[in-house]
């Protein structure tokens, strides 16, 4: 594990740990506040993210940004990363070996950020972080605590583009994150 952000970012440059490196334009490392109390973890970059080297800038990210704006969440105050740092072909779900190749980078990001809350966006994030036994449909909206971090699984913003009905649950889940964050800060004082 790297001790600081500079070392971590340097360690991932030119990564060739899996076949996703063969077609990438950019490594999509992460963005936001590197000392955030709230971290969001998605699946992997899409075409827009691969081009811009920033997570969640495509249609799903724009939808997430609208939810953030509506709830008063400043995107610059949270930290956003993905399970894999390179775009899977045709935006397919990352394969197990691809996710495994990137997980230490993500674990290192979590160690450096030290978030109190991690929002798991979709099944891929949920299963790779908390375990294969979890399912997004049954776990969505339920708080799970592990190793001093509170996790909240919710729908991936791309799922909202496919099923409008999930938008209400996604909104409720983000509201729950804000409430929990306020509770944690109130208990600090």
Quote the pTM value: 0.96
Query: Does CATH place domain 5-188 in 3.40.470.10?
Result: yes
Q: In degrees rounded to 5, what are phi and psi of residue 186?
A: -65, -35
Dist. CA 92–CA 5, nearest whole Å: 29
Dist. CA 47–CA 57, nearest whole Å: 10
Q: What angle do CA 1, 134, 94 make, to 5 degrees?
A: 60
pLDDT tens across the length of the chain (189 residues): 899 999 999 999 999 999 999 999 999 999 999 999 999 999 999 999 999 999 999 999 999 999 999 999 999 999 999 999 999 999 999 999 999 999 999 999 999 999 999 999 999 999 999 999 999 999 999 999 999 999 999 999 999 999 999 999 999 999 999 999 999 999 876
Domain ranges within the chain, ordered by starting residue: 5-188
């Amino acid at each position: 594990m790297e001790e600081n952000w500079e070392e971590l970012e340097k360690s991932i440059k030119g990564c060739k740990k899996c076949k996703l490196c063969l077609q990438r334009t950019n490594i999509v490392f992460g963005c936001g506040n590197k000392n955030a109390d709230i971290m969001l973890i998605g699946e992997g970059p899409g075409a827009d993210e691969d081009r811009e080297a920033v997570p969640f800038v495509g249609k799903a990210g724009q939808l997430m940004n609208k939810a953030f704006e509506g709830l008063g969440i400043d995107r610059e105050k949270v930290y956003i990363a993905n399970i894999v740092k390179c775009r899977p072909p045709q935006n397919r779900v990352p394969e197990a070996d691809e996710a495994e190749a990137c997980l230490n980078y993500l674990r290192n990001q979590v160690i450096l950020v030290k978030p109190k809350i991690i929002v798991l966006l979709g099944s891929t994030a949920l299963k790779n972080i908390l375990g294969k036994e979890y399912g997004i449909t049954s776990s969505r909206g339920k708080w799970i605590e592990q190793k001093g971090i509170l996790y909240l699984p919710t729908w991936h913003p791309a799922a909202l583009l496919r099923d409008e009905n999930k938008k209400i649950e996604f909104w409720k889940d983000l509201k729950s994150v804000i409430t929990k964050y306020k509770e944690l800060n109130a208990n600090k004082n």
